[in-house]
Structure 1
Amino acid sequence: MSLAAARDPFHSPHRLTNRLHTVLLLGGMIGLLAACGWIVAGPEGGLWALALGGISLAFAPRMSPQMVLGLYGAVPVHPWDLPNVVRVLNELAERAGLPAPPQLYWIPSPTLNAFAMGRPGDAAIAVTDGMIRSLTLRELSGVLAHEISHVRNGDLWLMGLADTVSRLTRMMSLFGQILLLFNLPLLLTGAVTIPWGLILLLVLAPTIGALLQLALSRTREYDADLGGALLTGDPMALAGALRKLERNGRGLWESLLMPGRRDPNPSLLRTHPPTEERIRRLAALSGQLDDGRIASAAGGHGPGSGRFREVQSRPRHRLTGLWY
């Protein structure tokens, strides 16, 4: 398979599978919202619930990326600050077909983290100081490709939609439970009958919606892993970064004394898929792609620190409520 063909999302059965999962999970969340509306107010209630979801999504205020980045103390990275990193970012954006390269930001934190914000034509990618200093340029290119894939795939909008539907489901469930309490005497006397299955669904709807939202997040992470690997032609670049992120997340003593310890959170409650499974999928792709890695990221040298001084302080909770 040529690299050009590999970059085409429709040449990958993995991507098609992920897209199908996304449609099913998002459809399940929307269907759950409509079901809650139907239980509360009948068929018209279901329609009103869907209409309310569409209106909320269209007119809900969105926090600008600059405001969020300001909460993290993020600083814009200029081409002369980290020339190798900016060069890689621009080439990845061109490969992804974005209208403009995302603006890169540096976050003064020793943690290993990166995230994307914005739309394809006006996106931002933030990378912590710890990430820049801990990863090689090759590994960092895999992380940047992963974040660019989120931007290209519209995952930021999609997860915003899922969050809106989840919030509306919780609101509808709470409203329905309040109505049940007011009508409890009628239910006990038999004047009004409501199947217990519907009552149980109304009570459990917020939990079911949250689980569907978490599952959707994991699906989008798999899709971004795949998209990033197709952009770089080097799946093991991201795999290497994930290994370092996993070790850094456990901490030194846990890595030495309990190297095989797994994430104690149940798989249903994780926003990200298990690291081992992500690495396994990336390794399975390594033999299927031509090595079209970016020339400047092919070596093992670090990306450099530019004008940024190393952050020595420990991560802590900030007045904004964020931890970095």
Structure 2
Amino acid sequence: MQNSVQTLLIMGGLALVLSVPGYLLAGGLGVGVSLGVVTAVAFASSWVPARYILAEAGAGLLDRHQAPTLYRLLDALYHRAGLTSPPQLFYAPSSDLNAFAVGTRQDGGIAVSEGLLRTLTLRQLTGVLAHEVSHLQHGDTRVMSMAAAMTRLTLWLTTVLQISLLLMVPMILAGDIRLPWGMLLVVAFAPSLSTLLQLALSRNREYTADLDAVALTGDADGLASALDTLERHQGRWLETLFGRHPPAGLDWLRTHPPTEERIRRLAGLKEPPEASLHQDLEDDAHAPAEIIERPGPVARRYWIRRRR
């Protein structure tokens, strides 16, 4: 409930920040047009097939016979999450440890990288997949696309205001008009404030996805272990740049919350009454996730084929 309220407040803040430059440019009409454009962009983006987005990222579709264990996990996670569409799992031949979801509840996909599959155990990967399923379940991709559209439009409108201020300089110097301090403040702070709100929204949705992942798997320790492994492998470049501990101020510029805080929250959760998925894995829980066959090279228009 707290995360949901925070999401509504942040989205309201983004809309307010966007409305101010729109109002300065065209009054109430500018506010209405700005919010209408953002809504149209968000709904239009939901019509883009997940397969197209992932194909452009170089990810190939894994068929069921290529990764039967992972599809068995996704089937169970989709069922627990109430998703009726068949799961789509994509493979990215990258050494980075990464997983991400795109699309909507009706046409969504989850991509996992080669580095992630080689590093995490099946139990850890179950928590990561549940985290991504939660993003699809709650439409986080649409929420974040709307937030990104608000931020971009805020930047464009303030750019128009900057051009307007430049055109007004001769009249200001001649004393014909007064210096518009309100417009100057909007131009100075609106883009940065919108960006910070978008990043805060992203961190909020990550916290929510962690909580929902535990509700889906019944295994907080599995996800916490996966996060710890990811931090140890991917946090090294920060240690190289900034020493042993990165500056605390960087937390404001992260799309994901600090891993230590995510693990602390997971440690404080009570296990759901539903049986853990990893208990069904038996001896395979600590083994790497197996892909029997990697997909071939991604054809440019392969995403047009019908879903299986």
Question: Shared fold by TM > 0.5?
Answer: yes
TM-score, normalization by structure 1: 0.82
SS of 1:76's equivalent? strand
Out of 239, 244, 252, the position equivalent to 1:268 is 252
Instruction: Answer whether contact 1:103 1:124 (CA < 8 A) is retained.
Output: yes
8 Å Cα contact 1:177-1:203 kept in structure 2 = no
| Mapping for residues 138-157 of structure 1, pairs under 5 Å | 138-157=123-142
Partner AA of 2:130 in structure 1: A
Determine the C-alpha separation between the residues in 2 that align with 1:225 and 1:116: 14
Q: Is the 8 A contact 1:101 1:123 kept in 2?
A: no
- Identify the match of residue 11 of structure 2 among 26, 47, 50: 26
Aligned ranges 1:10-159 → 2 under 5 Å: 16-59=1-44, 63-159=48-144
Secondary structure of 2:100 counterpart? strand
Matched, 1:284 2:268: yes
The CA deviation at 1:192 is 2.3
TM-aligned CA deviation for residue 40 of structure 1: 2.1
Mapped contact 1:29–1:165 kept (Cα < 8 A): yes
Call closer, same or farther: CA 1:130–1:167 in 2, change over 3 Å: same
| CA offset digits 1:224-268 (Å, max 9, x no partner) | 11111111111111111111111111349959xx6x533676111
Structure 2 partner of 1:245: 230
Q: Secondary structure at 1:304's aligned position in 2?
A: coil
Paired letter, 1:108: P
Unaligned runs of 5+ in 2: 296-308
CA contact (8 A) 1:84 1:296 kept: no
Query: Does the CA-based 8 Å contact 1:86-1:104 persist in structure 2?
Result: yes
Which of 229, 234, 249 is residue 219 of structure 2 equivalent to?
A: 234
- RMSD across aligned C-alpha pairs, in angstroms? 2.4
1: distance between equivalents of 2:13 and 2:186? 13
TM-score normalized with structure 2 length:
0.86
Aligned to 1:306: 292
CA deviation string 1:177-222 (max 9, x = no partner): 1111111222233422354134212332111111111111100111
CA distance in 2, matches of 1:62, 1:175: 30
**Which range is displaced more, 77-86 or 217-226?**
77-86
Q: State the alpha-carbon separation in 2 of the partners of residues 123 and 59 from structure 1.
A: 15
Paired with 1:41 and 1:276, the residues of 2 have a C-alpha distance of: 46
Q: 1:221 to 1:31 in 2, by over 3 A?
A: same
Bigger drift between 261-270 and 95-104 goes to: 261-270
Question: Does the CA contact (< 8 Å) of 1:88 and 1:297 recur in 2?
Answer: no
| Paired positions, count | 290
How far does the alpha carbon of each residue in 1:290-311 deviate from its partner, in whole angstroms, 9 at most, with x for none? 36211334632222232249xx
C-alpha separation between the residues in 1 aligned to 2:235 and 2:12? 35
- For residues 61 and 152 of structure 1, the distance between their equivalents in structure 2, rounded to whole angstroms, comes to 14
| Displacement after TM superposition at 1:85 (Å) | 1.4
Describe the shift of the 1:179–1:253 C-alpha distance in structure 2 as closer, same or farther (beyond 3 A).
Answer: closer
Structure 1 residues 224, 44: CA separation in 2 closer, same or farther (over 3 Å shift)?
same
What is the match of residue 10 of structure 1?
Answer: none
Change (3 A) 1:60 1:149: closer
